[in-house]
Amino acid sequence: MNTLVSTPAPHSTGRAHRLAGVPRELLARQRTLTVFAAVLLVLLLPATLAWGLDERLLRGVNVWVKPMKFAVSIAVLALTTAWFIGHLSPAQRHSRGVRWVVALIVGAGSFELAYIALQAGLGEGSHYNVAGTFHAVMYPLMGLGALLLTASQPLLAWQLYRHPDPALPPAYRASVLLGLGLTFLLGAGIGGLLSAVQPPDGSGLPLVGWSLAGGDLRPAHFFGVHAQQLLPLAGLALARWVPRQGRRAAMLLAALYTLGCIGLVVQALDGVALAGY
């Protein structure tokens, strides 16, 4: 009796093999940040369990949602930074400047998440909570921690600018530098504004929780912080589509991206709802 055995397509097998090699590549590029991010992602398991068992709400949202979102966000920041550090030569990956980048992310990220998780366990707010001396001190310290997290990115951009990898396409290289710089300028700038303008109560869009009623600066802050990932991804596409004009296209795209974030800020401050709602 003949048995039919399905053979996976070569392209799907190759894709799976490449994906399986990503963790090893990240560890080779920057081990500390990769391990740090892995720990944060593992911590999502007990946080998810707490979310399922703990019915307490804070401003209409389960108390464990915020620690989970911040764990994912900091992990993504760490992994993306680890990948970009890999664009440096092996010697430069261990330079003083890069060590500062790693220390800022691990130190500030750990502080931010520890305090947010502590407050979730207590059923109290971490952001916008200045009741009593302890909270009045911790809230600005959280702001400093967030500033240090984003400040790590222009430090890395400076290292990549001083020690460029000539093998990288110009469009991608420019997009990485612009993305890292805008992560600080937009992320920290809009974050500072957000720290003084509390978002509306209640749940909103799935996963991110953005309010549909308007007056929410979190969409602008999200795109500001994640310029670190979005612009380099666009740079890869530009390097393929318009290789000769890729660098100029990357600069134009970064300018449009900045204007888009500013537009989201103006929209939120005017109380205008997200498009389509």
Whether 8 maps to a domain, the answer reads: no
177 pLDDT above the threshold of 50: yes
Are both 29 and 163 inside the same structural domain? yes
- Select from 113, 141, 167 the last residue of a domain: 167
pLDDT in tens, 208-240: 778 878 889 999 999 999 999 999 999 999 999
Whether 17 maps to a domain, the answer reads: no
Spatial neighbors of 58 by CB under 8 A, at least 6 apart, are: 66, 120, 123, 124, 125
Torsion sign, CA atoms 21, 23, 25, 27: negative
Are both 141 and 177 inside the same structural domain? no
> Which of 18-22, 144-148, 183-187 has the least mean pLDDT?
18-22
- Select from 143, 167, 191 the last residue of a domain: 167
pLDDT in tens, 87-113: 999 999 999 999 999 999 999 999 999
Query: What's the domain range around 148?
Result: 25-167
2 pLDDT above the threshold of 70: no
- Select from 167, 188, 206 the last residue of a domain: 167
Are both 72 and 140 inside the same structural domain? yes
Amino acid at 89: S
pTM for this entry: 0.91
Are both 163 and 39 inside the same structural domain? yes
Are both 226 and 137 inside the same structural domain? no
Whether 20 maps to a domain, the answer reads: no
Are both 37 and 150 inside the same structural domain? yes
CA 248 to mean position of chain CA atoms: 25
Whether 6 maps to a domain, the answer reads: no
The CA distance from 228 to 230, in Å, is: 6
* Structural domain count of the chain: 2
Whether 11 maps to a domain, the answer reads: no
pLDDT in tens, 39-92: 999 999 999 999 999 999 988 889 999 999 999 999 999 999 999 999 999 999
Are both 156 and 258 inside the same structural domain? no
